[in-house]
Chains A and B, each alone.
Chain A
Amino acid sequence: MSGLTALTIVAVIVFGTMGFALLGVRRVQMSPEQYIVGGRSFGTIFLWVLQAGEIYTTFTFLGIAGFAYSLGAPALYVMAYGTIAYIIAYFLAPAVWQVGKDNNLLTNADFFETRYNSRALGVGVALLSFAMVVPYVTIQLSGLQILLRIAGYGAYNATAAVIVGFLVMALFVFTAGLRGTAWASVVKDILVLAAVLFAGMAIPVHFFGSLRGLFDDLVAAHPQMLTLPPAGVFHGTLWYASTVLLSALGFYVGPQTFNSVYSARSGDALRRNAVFLPFYQILASLMVFAGLSAMLITPGLTGPAVDQSFLLVVQRYFPSWILGIVAGAGALAALVPASALLLAASSVIVKNVLGDAFGVATSDRSRTLLTRIVVIVVAVLALGIWMIAQKTVVELLLLYYNGITQFFPGVVAAFVWKRATAWGVGLGILTGVGVAVPMAALNILPFGMNAGFVALLVNVVVLVLVSLVTKRAGA
């Protein structure tokens, strides 16, 4: 029974990884600082592993291949925007870290509250972050379901397995906190590397003799997929350039990224990390090769099914143990980032909303306990949303992808413009999100560029104008 082999391997990989990570944290005393930001003690290597672990999600694993399967070259934007994001991070992350260290910050909302001296802004950022992150968790569940369904050779629907796997992962976060996510990332990064090398190298070699052979076939049959479409059309050159820049700006301002930035031991650990992270980005090219191979091998998939393209190739043409390892790596690519997201969503709610705004659980002990409990509550909430409203989830995701970038001007202004006020930043974020989400939902493409740019521009204009007419609180 081949489905059983593959699923057993997936289960061993997922539960084995959590077990390994629990061993890594068994001696750690949990305070909120330890639980949420790893005690600000991670050096360059551990930080690299953690960031690679939370950045490379099921989107990297399934989405890039699917994107390449249906469109070809535009999928390369992932490699480019990640790399540019690390250039920005080289300058921005150490500055954010320093503020976090000097003021004992735990969340992204803390950062806004401290720099702009406004509790209201902190609470607002916390609520918006929560609203953005929960749908992002649910998309990982959909990715997990695809993986488990294919690993079971379509014999079952996998919903129950997703629920069990995700709840176990929530219990894991309950126990281990951010340090646990970092240890789980060690296994995840190694397995994903192996799976991606297999998908991007072994599949093309198996079917086309070599990567050169793959591209010879593509040049002959689908040359239009090997360059970007012209400027002005969706996925064209201008779309590409603008999306690359915009995604790069949003890359380091997500709530979960603040946790990992704070977890660094020093500013230089973050700088060294930024130097080395682009190397990981090269893996995305292998997923592009996997997607292009799948397009030649099993053409004809459309819609959401393209995300399954290379997995279906593995399922059809390779032994079940290989499918098990690949799907296991993919399951970790869903669960490990989800664990970081759960932690980020729970910490903003407990620290900034329940704690700061309502005065609940303000001692270290009760705050750690409450954060742990809220991790479970958020996990159940995400599962509930995922099960009853899958379609809405896709629309909610627009909020994440297009909304997250709107935090960027407020973060940068905190360092470069003393005059910026809480009102300016808050209203800037709100109008930015208010412009970006509907434009994205309607697929508007101003001048052939990504609509998020217009929203970002509006955000900056509002930030500047409102700041000029309001006073900085307490300054």
Chain B
Amino acid sequence: MAGKCAAMRPAPPSGAFLLRTLLAATPIFALSFGVLLVNRIEPRLFGFPFLFCWIAAWVLLTPAFLWTIGRVEKRW
């Protein structure tokens, strides 16, 4: 499988590195200190308080971010 020498492969070009870092850092920030910006009930979406929607949305978006990192690293 492709994982054979993948773990410690040399660092990719710096543009890809920046993109990967950004893709990983965005959901991490949104789900941690980012909530300080959205700590409110209104506007409610589908009846859910805004804070709940924000967190749920980022949980569901994270797989897309991770998948994109995999694409950038040419793993799939």
Contacts and interface: CB of A to CB of B under 8 A. Distances in A.
Contacts of B4: 266-267
B35 A266 contact: no
Question: Which of A81, A248, A278: most chain B Cβ within 10 A?
Answer: A278
B59 interface: yes
A282 B60 contact: yes
Contacts of B17: none
Interface in A398-444: 415
A211 B63 contact: no
A210 interface: yes
A262 interface: no
Interface stretch (A72-80, A118-126, A137-145, A352-360): A72-80
A265 B1 CA distance: 8
Looking at chain B's contact residues, is the secondary structure mostly helix, strand, loop, or mixed?
helix
A50 interface: no
A318 interface: no
Nearest to A237: B36
A213 B24 CA distance: 36
Interface in A266-300: 266-272, 274-276, 278-279, 281-282, 285, 288
Nearest to A218: B49
A4 interface: no
A227 interface: yes
Given A227-B51, A282-B59, A84 B32 contact: yes
A397 to B, nearest CB: 24
B63 to A, nearest CB: 5
Interface residues of B, number: 39
B46 A87 contact: no
Interface stretch (A90-98, A158-166, A386-394): A90-98
Interface in A56-96: 73, 76, 79-81, 83-84, 86-87, 90-91, 94-95
A436 B61 CA distance: 33
Contacts of B49: 73, 215, 219, 226-227
A171 to B, nearest CB: 35
5 contacts: A86-B66, A216-B47, A227-B40, A266-B2, A272-B70
Interface of A: 73, 76, 79-81, 83-84, 86-87, 90-91, 94-95, 97-99, 210-213, 215-216, 219, 223, 226-228, 231, 237-238, 240-242, 244-245, 248, 265-272, 274-276, 278-279, 281-282, 285, 288, 415
Nearest first, the 9 A-B pairs at minimum CB distance are: A212-B47, A267-B3, A98-B7, A266-B3, A266-B1, A80-B31, A226-B49, A268-B3, A275-B66
Interface of B: 1-4, 6-8, 24, 27-28, 31-33, 35-36, 39-41, 44, 46-49, 51-52, 55-56, 58-60, 62-63, 65-67, 69-70, 75-76
Given A84-B32, A86-B66, A216-B47, 8 more contacts: A95-B7, A212-B47, A226-B49, A228-B35, A267-B7, A268-B76, A269-B3, A270-B3
